[in-house]
């Protein structure tokens, strides 16, 4: 890949915070624990913070991937407003370089080209959320740490507008930077890769101590926190990892903090591996629960135990979840079990606003183009990106198809003149075959397959076609080669 072309996004810079001016024209960046010393004209480890004229600058202020409407479950947040719609924003660069990164095409800035970059002002982000009735802005994907200045400016405006800010991060960040985040961030969903210092050094290129200190700092500050751990096949999917993570959560945060064990898919430098066997995730959950962690969940899996919430006192079902969809069925307004009154440790926002459901006879759609997609293998989520090319508002319609031939109710999305909007569609029922989107004349669209939550695909199926590597087993295995043989067999039968 030629990474020297299409880099106009790097040409403009903005002043950066947390700088230390050094003798000889160098600067030190205090955003992450690396404390990079950067010479004139150079950039730090993240490749998006540099030295211009002896001052620290950021190259990605207001520059990121396309904002996307998702659900709060996408961010490994299960006990804050289940099912809530969020506006997810990711940027460019990262303070880590994890060998398995699911977002490496944007987290590693050298791979980013101009076609992937969208430009925002803080006002535009807040306006988009308000216009579409979204109450939570999520700073996510590659990692928000390196978007520090833009997040501070936008999150302040968002809070003034009554919105909530969610920070989904690996949290390799300095204490000084955390101090600046605390006044504006409401929810921290933190990916703790491991407790092992060796793991962090070898797999993430970072170190674990500041991550642990940072999690403890935001928790002690009274912020809402959930913790997730990616269980990487044959590296961190063992019982000992689950036990050490669980013990740290119990000792430093408490039994009520939700803990997620997340399924890995092969990617980036570790594409020759396999997806985490689900029986290992189930065992990790069993270990954590046996140790006293009250709310333990599995991520990137469907149709297995460990995604719903039941009351720990009377076992009543409180929240059902399928994929990235959630429904509250047994909670009162205070987040307690509506059957026995036990505190289930939920924070609720009241009725969450859904897309508008409409009655719409098909004969009214004769002038619309239909885009239909069928779920296959592990591809059970899509990003749909739509662009209104007209000078007037246009409405897009969406429904779901089921195995018995029936369809869901129509939902509508109204686009402003020339608005580009991206939103997630995730499989919501076991008998759902896939979605269809109806587009009026003058609205263009692209569909992007989403392999796992918190994954931002940069290429659409219109560009690269339907994924041919989507079948992964959900059972344990005896030896990696045996599993590869099973995968090949499954793919050949599909």
Domain boundary assignment for the chain:
12-56, 61-326, 366-461
Judge contact between 94 and 49, C-beta under 8 A.
Answer: no
What pLDDT, on the 0 to 100 scale, is given for residue 378? 84
Residue 298 to residue 379: CA distance in whole angstroms = 17
Residue 170 to residue 188: CA distance in whole angstroms = 10
Same fold, 61-326 and 366-461: no
- Planar angle of CA 56, 60, 65, nearest 5 degrees: 165
Report yes or no on whether pTM surpasses 0.85: yes
CA 420, distance to chain mean position in Å, is 20
What pLDDT, on the 0 to 100 scale, is given for residue 469? 56
What pLDDT, on the 0 to 100 scale, is given for residue 427? 95
Place of tokens 């999305």: 413
Place of tokens 């009735």: 133
Closest C-alpha to 469, from 264, 266, 278, 268: 266
Q: Give the DSSP per-residue string, 247-306.
A: HHHHHHT-TTS-EEEEE----GGGTTS-PPPHHHHHHHHHHHHHHT-S-EEEES--SSSS
- Collapsing DSSP to helix, strand or coil, 318 comes out as strand
What pLDDT, on the 0 to 100 scale, is given for residue 476? 34
What pLDDT, on the 0 to 100 scale, is given for residue 478? 36
The low-confidence residues of the chain, meaning pLDDT below 50, are 1-4, 471-494
DSSP 8-state class, residue 478:
S
What pLDDT, on the 0 to 100 scale, is given for residue 470? 54
Closest C-alpha to 149, from 237, 83, 63: 63
Helix orientation angle between 148-160 and 122-131, rounded to the nearest 10 degrees? 40
Residue 82 to residue 88: CA distance in whole angstroms = 16
pLDDT digits (tens, 9 = 90+) for 150-187: 999 999 999 999 999 999 999 999 999 999 999 999 99
What pLDDT, on the 0 to 100 scale, is given for residue 144? 97
Percent helix / strand / coil, the chain, rounded to 5 = 25, 30, 45
Count Cβ atoms below 10 Å from residue 193 Cβ, excluding itself: 25
Residue 300 to residue 237: CA distance in whole angstroms = 14
Look up the CATH superfamily of 61-326.
Aldolase class I (3.20.20.70)
Question: Measured between alpha carbons, how far apart are the two ends of the chain, in Å?
Answer: 31
Beta bridge partners of 20: 28
The top-level CATH class assigned to 366-461 is mainly beta
What pLDDT, on the 0 to 100 scale, is given for residue 479? 37
């Amino acid at each position: 890949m030629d990474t020297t072309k299409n880099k106009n996004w790097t040409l403009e810079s903005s002043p950066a915070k947390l700088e230390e001016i050094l003798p000889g024209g160098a600067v030190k960046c205090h955003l992450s624990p690396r404390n990079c010393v950067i010479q004139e004209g150079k950039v730090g480890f993240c490749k998006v913070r540099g030295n211009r004229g002896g001052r620290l600058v950021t190259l990605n202020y207001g520059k990121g991937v396309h904002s996307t409407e998702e659900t709060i479950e996408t961010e490994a947040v299960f006990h804050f407003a289940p099912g809530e719609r969020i506006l997810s924003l990711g940027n460019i660069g990262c303070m880590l370089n994890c060998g398995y990164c699911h977002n490496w095409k944007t987290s590693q800035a050298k791979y980013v080209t101009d076609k992937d970059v969208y430009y925002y002002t803080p006002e535009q982000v807040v306006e988009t959320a308000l216009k579409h009735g979204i109450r939570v802005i999520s700073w996510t994907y590659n990692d928000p740490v390196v978007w520090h200045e833009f997040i501070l400016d936008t999150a302040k405006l968002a809070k003034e507008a009554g919105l909530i800010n969610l920070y989904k991060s690996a949290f390799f960040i300095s204490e000084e930077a955390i101090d600046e985040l605390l006044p504006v961030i409401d929810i921290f969903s933190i990916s703790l890769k491991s407790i092992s210092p060796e793991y962090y050094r070898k797999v993430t290129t970072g170190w674990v101590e500041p991550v642990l200190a940072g999690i403890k700092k935001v928790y002690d500050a009274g912020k809402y926190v959930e913790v997730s751990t990616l269980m990487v096949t044959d590296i961190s999917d063992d019982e000992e990892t689950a036990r050490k993570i669980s013990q740290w959560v119990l000792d430093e945060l408490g039994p009520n903090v939700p803990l997620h064990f997340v399924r890995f898919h092969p990617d980036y430098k570790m594409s020759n591996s396999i997806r985490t066997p689900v029986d290992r995730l189930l065992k990790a959950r069993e270990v954590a629960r046996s140790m006293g962690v009250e709310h333990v969940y599995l991520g990137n899996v469907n149709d297995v135990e460990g995604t719903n919430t039941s009351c720990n006192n009377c076992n009543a079902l409180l929240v059902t979840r399928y994929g990235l969809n959630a429904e509250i069925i047994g909670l009162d307004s205070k987040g307690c079990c509506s059957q026995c009154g036990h505190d289930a440790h939920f924070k609720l926002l009241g009725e969450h606003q859904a897309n508008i459901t409409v009655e719409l006879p098909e004969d009214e759609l004769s002038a619309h183009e239909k885009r239909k997609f069928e779920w296959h293998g592990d591809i059970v989520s899509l990003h749909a990106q739509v662009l209104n090319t007209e000078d007037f508002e246009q409405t897009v319609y969406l429904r779901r198809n089921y195995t018995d031939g029936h369809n869901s109710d129509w939902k509508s999305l109204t686009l402003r003149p020339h608005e580009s909007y991206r939103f997630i569609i995730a499989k919501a029922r076991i008998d759902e075959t896939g979605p269809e989107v109806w587009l009026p004349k003058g609205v263009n669209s692209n569909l992007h397959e989403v392999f796992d939550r918190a994954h931002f695909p940069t290429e659409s199926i219109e560009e690269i076609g339907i994924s041919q590597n989507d079948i992964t087993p959900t059972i344990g295995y005896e030896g990696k080669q045996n599993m590869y043989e099973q995968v090949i067999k499954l793919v050949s039968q599909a």
